[in-house]
Amino acid sequence: MIQESHIDAAIKELFANLKFTDEPKGLYDPLRYMMEIGGKRIRPRLCLTAYSLFKDSFCDEILSPAAALEVFHSFTLIHDDIMDKADVRRGVPTVYRRWDENTAILSGDVMSIESYKLIAKAPAEVLPKALELFSKTAAEVCEGQQYDMDFEDMECVPMSDYLKMIGLKTAVLIACSAKMGAIIGGASAKDCDLLYKYGYDLGLAFQIADDWLDTYGDPAVFGKAIGGDIINNKKSWLMTRAFEKASAETRGKLLTAMAMPVETEEEKAAKVAAVKEIYAGLEVEEEARQEIVRLHSQALSYVADLGLGAEETALLENYAKKLIGRTK
């Protein structure tokens, strides 16, 4: 079995050696910038982890598709930052702030194409399945982003709609990462589906944790400014749950807070503080933590159904622990 330390080393080497076309620099420099500012590489790491359950060594048949998952994810972040008007990503200026919106859009587009070039290096015998999974997931991520934007024009959304949105926008790509590694690793259809479910529930937990961090996290650790969801009236898990729990009076206060001006830094801080005060009264912060724990446990129930040995089970358990541990 491939050890966790070998997965870490493979991830480091993979992205250190990942190359893109040099010219025109105006197109490819933002792409390289986005890849070089890092991130936790959670999607390729899960892909390699799933693959390692069924294989004893890494080769290009899995390394390139694993890289594709990160390149595609980075493309979505470039466009997401434009839509959210985000100034900072992973502690540095976002691509559209470093360059401009048109450059960011085009560089994001070419990143999506590069991801397909990498997926195409999957073994010929599983390439149709790999492409089908990747293409379906790519479309779903875009669908989730559209729902997210649609929600911005609504006062509140049902929790079921919120969960559908994050399922598409976030969870399916993490689920795809697990299943992609399993498919290329030669796993059975049953094991591929179990790993997809494992990744999907972890993806839901990961997004709820991200919502939590946006309001309660440490900017130095989180890598971007705190309170962005509140400032932009994003329908986070916290906001959605607050509307579910609020009385008519509290709902009115929440709507008033959401309408506060955000032209200056002082106004932004005041709006964040007002909404957080309402969250505190409704105790939604702790409920978010509890939901993260529940989804984490549910994901691990699928691992039990895989019937793996102790070492293989520990790989998936450790991955889940590291992914969800950011809220502690």
Expressed in angstroms, the distance from the first to the final Cα of the chain is 31
pLDDT at 48: 97
Give the chain's domain count. Answer: 1
pLDDT at 60: 85
pLDDT at 39: 83
pLDDT at 328: 44
Residues 130/51, Cβ–Cβ less than 8 Å: no
- How far is 148 from 254, CA to CA, in rounded Å? 20
pLDDT at 152: 81
pLDDT at 301: 96
Per-10-residue mean pLDDT for the chain, 328 residues long?
89 92 93 90 97 91 96 95 86 93 96 97 97 98 94 90 97 98 97 98 96 87 77 92 96 96 95 97 96 96 94 95 74
- How far is 44 from 46, CA to CA, in rounded Å? 5
The alpha helices in the chain, defined as continuous H runs, are 4-16, 25-36, 42-52, 60-84, 95-98, 101-119, 127-151, 159-166, 172-184, 189-216, 219-222, 228-231, 237-245, 248-258, 265-282, 284-306, 310-324
Residues 286/168, Cβ–Cβ less than 8 Å: no
pLDDT at 234: 87
- How far is 207 from 201, CA to CA, in rounded Å? 10
pTM: 0.93
Residues 185/54, Cβ–Cβ less than 8 Å: yes
- How far is 241 from 238, CA to CA, in rounded Å? 5
- What DSSP designation does 18 have? -
pLDDT at 223: 59
- How far is 240 from 162, CA to CA, in rounded Å? 7
- How far is 92 from 77, CA to CA, in rounded Å? 13
Distance from the Cα of residue 316 to its chain's centroid: 18
CATH, residue 145? 1.10.600.10
Q: What is the dihedral of CA 107, 109, 111, 112, to 10 degrees?
A: 170
- How far is 258 from 240, CA to CA, in rounded Å? 13
Q: Residue 88, SS3?
A: strand
Beta-bridge mates of residue 92? 89
- Residue 68: domain span: 4-327
- How far is 328 from 129, CA to CA, in rounded Å? 38
pLDDT at 153: 84
pLDDT at 222: 65
